[in-house]
Amino acid sequence: MLKNILFVISLIFIFSCKKNVNNEVEVYNNDFESGNLSNIDNGIINQFNGTAVLGNYNNESFALTVGNLPKHDLVRVSFDLYIHDSWDGDKIAPDGPDVWKMLIDGNPYISASFSNEACGVGVFCPPQSYPLDYPNNNSNPKAGAYRTDLPGFCHLIKDPNGTTLYKIEKIIRHSNKTLLLQCLDKLVQTNTADPKCDESWSIDNIKIKAITL
């Protein structure tokens, strides 16, 4: 924990002094509109809300390998994460918990639960861990979201506000010539005949930059 705090402090110091950043090179950019799935294992492209996305996934994963990176000290990984339909956050079985993960070179950088349930007077709102990691349960549903007004992936009429969009960005120590980005989930829904339509996720606008200090 102390190491992580010190690393964050060092990043703040580094990026507050622009002269310390020698170079920032984009090594990968994909909005999936061209159907490009090169170097992506288990790549799936679907249409959502008028745009092409990587997904949708339910108890599945994809792996993106980016090679021939220039000499660098850090990487900046960013993308749009769509949490579709009835994610139940920190609920227990048969509804949850519903957890999503991001790994770089096999190391977890996000392992968080998400909740798409609406809050209201007299309505229990199952918490989510994001923007903290699961099993922390101190966050309200949709905490940290960029948009909460998007349609569901499957339930366009029944649930017009069924998708939550999160802008994900991580700056990570990295110097290898190859980077492996993996995204996966562990979703629990034992009481539905169509799990993938009940809850799923997708990704868009992946950008990876190599940073030299």
* pLDDT single digits (tens) 9-38: 455 545 554 446 679 999 999 999 999 999
CATH of the domain at 134: 2.60.120
- Beta strands 23-30 and 51-57 are unpaired
Residue 70, pLDDT above cutoff 60: yes
Structural domain total, the chain: 1
In a domain, 4, yes or no: no
Residue 7, pLDDT above cutoff 60: no
Structural domain that includes position 42: 22-212
In a domain, 6, yes or no: no
Residue 120's pLDDT is what? Answer: 65
Residue 179, pLDDT above cutoff 50: yes
Q: Please state the pTM of the whole predicted model.
A: 0.87
Residue 190's pLDDT is what? Answer: 82
Residue 207's pLDDT is what? Answer: 98
Confidence bin at 208 (pLDDT 50/70/90): very high
Residue 158, pLDDT above cutoff 90: no
* Nearest Cα residue to 177 out of 27, 40, 36, 76: 27
CA 75 – CA 85 distance, rounded (Å): 31
Q: Which positions ≥6 away from 24 have C-beta within 8 Å?
A: 76, 209, 210, 211, 212
